[in-house]
Amino acid sequence: MSAVAAPSIEMVVTESAITEIKKFLANEEDLPETAGLRVRVVPGGCSGFQYSLNIEEESRTGDFILEKEDIKLFVDMFSAQYLNGITIDHTTNVMGSGFTFENPNASGGCGCGTSFSA
């Protein structure tokens, strides 16, 4: 009898994004060692789904937990199907600064860069 491999999720987080995430975590007071950044997909935006980033004190049951340079990323089962293989970056340009998402799973998107369809 062979064991069934648990599904996994892969994400690339650029150095620029890691630096910004560390700044956000450092600005939060009294975060426990279990704290991390929740990366998820929520219904909404102009293309059907949008990305959401939130600091949370601990993971939830069923979460995938990825560790990137001492940062924990929490991804729920629903979001994982849309987030596998994405690259999270942080950019600054004349329009401002913010996180960007390069998603190979998206079948469409819009100009805002934070909304996609699958």
Q: Residue 113: its pLDDT value, please?
A: 55
Q: How many domains does the chain have?
A: 1
**Domain-embedded: residue 5:** no
**Domain-embedded: residue 2:** no
**Domain-embedded: residue 16:** yes
- Report mean pLDDT in 10-residue bins for the chain, 118 residues: 64 96 92 95 81 94 94 94 93 87 75 55
pTM (predicted TM-score): 0.83
Q: Which residue range(s) make up the domain with 77?
A: 12-26+33-117
Contact of 39 with 53, CB cutoff 8 Å: yes
Contact of 9 with 84, CB cutoff 8 Å: yes
**Domain-embedded: residue 6:** no
**Domain-embedded: residue 99:** yes
Please give the Cα distance from 65 to 56 (Å, whole number): 12
Q: Residue 117: its pLDDT value, please?
A: 58
**Domain-embedded: residue 64:** yes
Q: Residue 59: its pLDDT value, please?
A: 96
Maximum separation of any 2 CA atoms in the chain, in Å:
58
Q: The domain that contains 111 carries what CATH number?
A: 2.60.300.12
Please give the Cα distance from 70 to 51 (Å, whole number): 22
- In which element (H, E) is residue 24 found? helix 15-27
Q: Residue 19: its pLDDT value, please?
A: 96
